Amino acid sequence: MPQVRELAERLRRSPAVLLGMNVSDGVKEASAVTDAHGVSHTTLLRAKRAMREYGIDGIPTIVVLDKQGMVREYWTGHSPSLVEELLPIIEPLLE
**Residues whose CB is less than 8 angstroms from the CB of residue 28 and which lie 6 or more positions away in sequence, other chains included:** none
Q: What is the pLDDT along the chain (95 residues), one digit of tens a residue?
A: 788 888 888 888 888 888 888 877 678 888 888 888 888 888 888 788 888 887 888 777 888 888 888 888 888 888 899 899 999 999 999 98
Domain extents for the chain? 2-86
Contact 74, 85 (CB under 8 A): no
By CB neighbour count within 10 A (0-12 exposed, 13-18 middle, 19+ buried), where does 92 fall?
Answer: exposed
**Start-to-end CA span in the chain (Å):** 27
pLDDT value of position 38: 83
pLDDT value of position 25: 67
pLDDT value of position 75: 83
CATH fold of 2-86? Glutaredoxin (3.40.30)
> What is the reported pTM?
0.71
Instruction: For residue 61, give the 3-state DSSP assignment.
Output: strand
Query: Which helix or strand (DSSP H or E) is residue 90 part of?
Result: helix 82-93
